[in-house]
């Protein structure tokens, strides 16, 4: 293996130490960041993610409030809860863990979140602000990837950036962020022709397709930087990314691993958004009373 490992765990740890200090300062000013985490149903992966997020909050002094709702919760009940949290002064930010059970409309649920409390940056108001270059919050996984690149002094400006995957959570917002950093961006998806050929153009290749080991070393330009967003559990229980690590790491100059790469960075960015939301709430409260 010749590639440098881009260590998200290590970077996230130092980011969290800074956030912890920031939270201590905010508390001295009477500002207490609080994150509401809503989970509907019993999806084991979602349960694990929510537990991680609560643990992260505790580590940096952010209070988390879990709302674990029954699988059969109606859309009306869920939206009613969000509306209550929207006006609750203890709640700075709200996160609804996705995916939701099939009978709930994710778009309507996300639209119910107060855009000032939008921990994930999923609300169309915030997506629009991101698109027009004046973001209020940053989407967690894309922002985590940008911070990981920048901390490792990987220049984005002028580079060929290829993003595989066009989800609202990762691919689309990441393309916008890379563009805002002056990358030349191509977005690939399941209908892209000659996927490997397009990937081989990339100086920076980000794969968020949700397909185990979709991209192998032969689709990577020698010396490229490879960011693997995928987490897939194979039947033998082995965890693999969307990139075949063994072959890709022979060709790339730098690469993330399936664990300790993008995941910890995503979680650190959620904490950043929660602190930002607490500051926004404080500013708005002061304006209301003056």
Contact segment (CB under 6 A) with ligand GUN among 55-63, 71-79, 96-104, 123-131 equals 96-104
The CB-of-95 to ligand GUN minimum distance in angstroms stands at 5
Q: Are 278 and 92 in contact (CB under 8 A)?
A: yes
What does the alpha-carbon distance between residue 221 and residue 237 come to, in Å, rounded to a whole number? 30
Q: Is 120 in the site for ligand GUN (CB under 6 A)?
A: yes
Q: How far is the CB of 237 from ligand GUN (least distance, A)?
A: 21
CB atoms within 10 A of CB 143: 24
Residue 35 lies near ligand GUN (rule: CB under 6 A):
no
Q: Which of 16, 56, 97, 117 is catalytic?
A: 97
Which member of 56, 118, 120, 242 is catalytic?
Answer: 120
Which residue, among 146, 130, 147, has the nearest Cα to 138 in the 3D structure?
130
Q: Does 147 bind ligand GUN (CB under 6 A)?
A: no
Rounded-to-integer distance, Cα 257 and Cα 228, Å? 7
One of 69, 93, 95, 162 touching ligand GUN (CB under 6 A): 95
Tell me the residue nearest to ligand GUN as measured from the CB. 98
Query: Is residue 213 involved in binding ligand GUN (CB under 6 A)?
Result: no
**Residue from 23, 140, 199, 206 binding ligand GUN (CB under 6 A):** 140
List CB contacts of 203: < 8 A, sequence separation 6 or more: 159, 160, 161, 221, 224, 225
Active site residue 282: no
Give the count of residues interacting with ligand GUN (CB under 6 A): 8
Which of 204, 268, 203, 215 has its CA nearest to residue 240?
A: 215
Alpha carbon of 44 to those of 39, 97, 230: distances in Å?
Answer: 11, 12, 17
- Give me the residues that bind ligand GUN (CB under 6 A), please: 95-98, 120, 140-141, 169
Q: Which residue numbers are catalytic?
A: 53, 97, 120
């Amino acid at each position: 293996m010749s590639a440098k490992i881009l260590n998200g765990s290590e970077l996230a740890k130092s980011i969290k130490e800074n956030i912890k200090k920031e939270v201590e300062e905010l508390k001295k000013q009477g500002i207490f960041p609080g994150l509401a985490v809503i989970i509907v149903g019993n999806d084991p992966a979602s349960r694990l993610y929510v537990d991680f997020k609560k643990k992260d909050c505790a580590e940096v002094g952010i209070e988390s409030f879990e709302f674990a709702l029954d699988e059969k919760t109606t859309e009306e009940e869920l939206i009613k809860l969000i509306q209550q949290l929207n006006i609750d002064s203890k709640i700075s930010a709200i996160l609804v863990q996705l995916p939701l059970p099939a009978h709930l409309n994710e778009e309507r649920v996300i639209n119910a979140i107060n855009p000032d409390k939008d921990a994930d940056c999923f609300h169309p108001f915030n997506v629009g602000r991101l698109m027009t270059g004046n973001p209020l919050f940053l989407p967690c996984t894309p922002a985590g990837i940008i911070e990981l690149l920048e901390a490792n002094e990987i220049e984005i400006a002028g580079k060929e950036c290829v993003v595989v995957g066009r989800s609202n959570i990762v691919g689309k917002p990441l393309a916008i962020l890379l563009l805002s950093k002056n990358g030349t961006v191509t977005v690939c998806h399941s209908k892209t022709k000659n996927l490997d050929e397009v990937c081989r153009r990339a100086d920076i290749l980000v794969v968020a397709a949700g397909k185990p080991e979709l991209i192998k070393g032969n689709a990577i330009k020698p010396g490229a930087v490879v960011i693997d967003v995928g987490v897939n559990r194979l039947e033998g229980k082995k965890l693999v990314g969307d990139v075949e690590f063994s072959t890709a790491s022979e060709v790339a100059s730098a690469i993330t691993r399936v664990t300790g790469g993008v995941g910890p960075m995503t979680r650190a960015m959620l904490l950043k958004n929660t602190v930002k939301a607490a500051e926004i709430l404080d500013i708005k409260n002061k304006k209301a009373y003056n």
